[in-house]
Amino acid sequence: MSDQKMRAIVSGLEGYSFEEASWVNPKPLSECRVAIVTTAGLNQEGNADWNPGDQGFTVLSGKERDFTLGHFSPNFDRTGWVVDENVVMPLDRLDEMAAEGKIGSVADVHISFMGAQPDHTLETIRLDTGPAAAKALLEDGVDVVLLTPV
Amino acid sequence: MGTLASVLEQSGLATVAISIIREQIVATQPPRALHCEFPLGRPLGKPGDSAFQHEILDAAFDLLNAESGPVLVDYPEEISDDADTPLSCTIPPADNSDKHPAEAEARGLLPVWRRSYEKYGRTTVGKVVPPEQVPEMVALFAKIADGEDWTSVGLPGDLTKLGADIKNFYEEASLSLSDGIPGARQAETWFVTQTRAGDVIQRARVALKEQKAGSYFTSYILPMTQVREPENGSND
């Protein structure tokens, strides 16, 4: 029951919410280009490291799916990821949905940040890296983003 | 993650977030979230179960049909971790009797780790050292556990990240010592409670606290829920 304890530990942490919620009405899903943005701290080319407090992001290629999980926190299970990366990064599932026509297409560009940030205001993500990541996705024609945590 | 979703939405992207810590999503109010009470680290719930993963994705993308938000929906099925049930593994015989027993244990696990890597093609080891150097790192942690000054044992990098390399190496090796896909955190509990290296890290953590190495090292060298305090010890 470790996760219950972890949830209790982090449940009181502060979060940052916006005064006015943004809202985008998407096209029909069958016409949408879909990307994944994860906070698992994924890198490519074998880099298994990610420094605590780093609010930067990595651009992940949807074609070269050689992802390495570098999240600094030891407080979550990694064996599920090692056995099947779709449990965090369900690109194979999105491929299948695209083949079935449920979604329009799978993006070439995906993004990873790292969660468990000590700065709960997430200032860098809000002002700099978040908008920059959005720009990279929009340049790939992305309409819909699925966010996955760990 | 909820804040990030709002930033992306503000930039013109329609977002749907899978939530794994409900209180955080309630606090940050992303536009659309499907809360999945699944093991931390497994937001799609079940590794190796594509049908289940599709169910989660269908439920998540259904939220795009909402006309206004924020929307927070709870997925009806819950999955718990299995930290209370350590993975059942038979550790292969150690191959270097002149080494510290924990280092010898890790050396014995190297070929097992390689089998896991060949099978799954992924590793999370390598924050500081490659898998082949993990046994040497176990030996250095054994020195710390036995009371040597942590700053002078010759660690090649960040101590917490080295601890992660050791833990992740063992967890990945365990995948080839057991049948099927383990429940969440089963390998973690096996490492912490059943292996010599896990005991070394536990004792090293206590020694690091005594040496006042700093909370970054003592808080993240092991999962918070797996920390073993000395019976007569007190927290920082």
Phi-psi region of B155 (alpha: psi -120 to 50; beta: other; left: phi over 0): beta
Q: How far is CA A94 from CA A91, B51, B57, in A?
A: 5, 12, 9
What's the complex ipTM? 0.96
Q: How near does any CA of chain A get to the CA of B81, in Å?
A: 6
B3 within 8 A of A126, measured Cβ to Cβ = yes
- Chain B residues closer than 8 Å to A146 by CB: 15-18, 57, 60-61
The Cα–Cα gap between A68 and A48 comes to 6
Buried b (16+ CB within 10 A) or exposed e, A85-121: bbbbbbbebbebbbeeebbbbbbebbbbbbbbbeeee
A135 within 8 A of A88, measured Cβ to Cβ = no
Tens digits of residue pLDDT in A61-102:
999 989 999 999 999 999 999 999 999 999 999 999 999 999
Q: How near does any CA of chain B get to the CA of A133, in Å?
A: 8
Between A46 and B65, the higher pLDDT residue? B65
Q: Is the pLDDT of residue B235 over 60?
A: no
- Chain A residues closer than 8 Å to B34 by CB: none
Residue pairs spanning A and B at CB distance below 8 A: 281
- Alpha carbon B135 to its chain's center: 19
Handedness of CA A97, A100, A104, A105 (dihedral sign): positive
- Residue B232 in tokens: 């007569």
B53–A144 CB contact, under 8 Å: no
The Cα–Cα gap between B124 and B164 comes to 9
Q: Is the pLDDT of residue B97 over 90?
A: no
pLDDT value for A18: 80
- Chain A residues closer than 8 Å to B175 by CB: 79, 82-83
Q: What is the mean pLDDT of residues B171-186?
A: 96
Rounded to two decimals, the pTM is: 0.95
